[in-house]
Amino acid sequence: MRLEMIISVAIGLWIGVLLLVISLCRASKLSDEAADAALVNATTANCDVDSTRLPPSERSLRTLSLDRAATLLGVTPHTVLEWDARYGFPTSSSLERRYNQAEVLALRDSLEDGLSIASAVTRARERSRHRRTATVARLVDHRDGGLAS
């Protein structure tokens, strides 16, 4: 009888912890999606919020759909596909049309400066390369086996 009570309490606790973890994961995902949507909306509306203030390591992980990238660039999705095919920039993932947010924003900024698409791609590509190099250079080796920025 006592063993059955201990087992049922243990199973109840395990289920409770499992439900807590699932709810926290779901809340975190919803929070991330809401933050991404707010960031893209703020950038699209030309607000003072600038996503290029994010750490470069975080920026490189953010991707945009074809439609979002086209909206940020102020062109049609077909035009973004043509630029991707012709200039190879902004780059999309190989599995689906998801574009690197930092590259799209760098291209948008270059186009806003009045550059032709070829010149804008060259400048945006250089800015993206420079940011990636700076990110790698900021990593410091710690003797405890970890890397920190």
| Closest alpha carbon to 51 in 115, 119, 109 | 109
77 pLDDT higher than 50: yes
Task: Output 120 or 97, whichever has higher pLDDT.
Answer: 120
What kind of architecture, by CATH, is found in domain 41-140?
Orthogonal Bundle (1.10)
Task: Output 66 or 58, whichever has higher pLDDT.
Answer: 66
- How is 29-78 classified by DSSP, letter by letter? HHHHHHHHHHHHHHHHTT-S--GGGS-HHHHTT-EEEHHHHHHHHTS-HH
Supply angle C-alpha 100, 88, 68, rounded to 5: 35
Note the pLDDT tens digit of each residue in 8-63: 999 999 999 999 999 888 888 777 777 767 766 665 554 443 444 444 444 445 78
Domain spans, the chain: 41-140
Task: Output 131 or 27, whichever has higher pLDDT.
Answer: 27
Give the whole-angstrom CA distance, residue 147 versus residue 149. 7
| CB contact at 8 A, 100 and 60 | yes
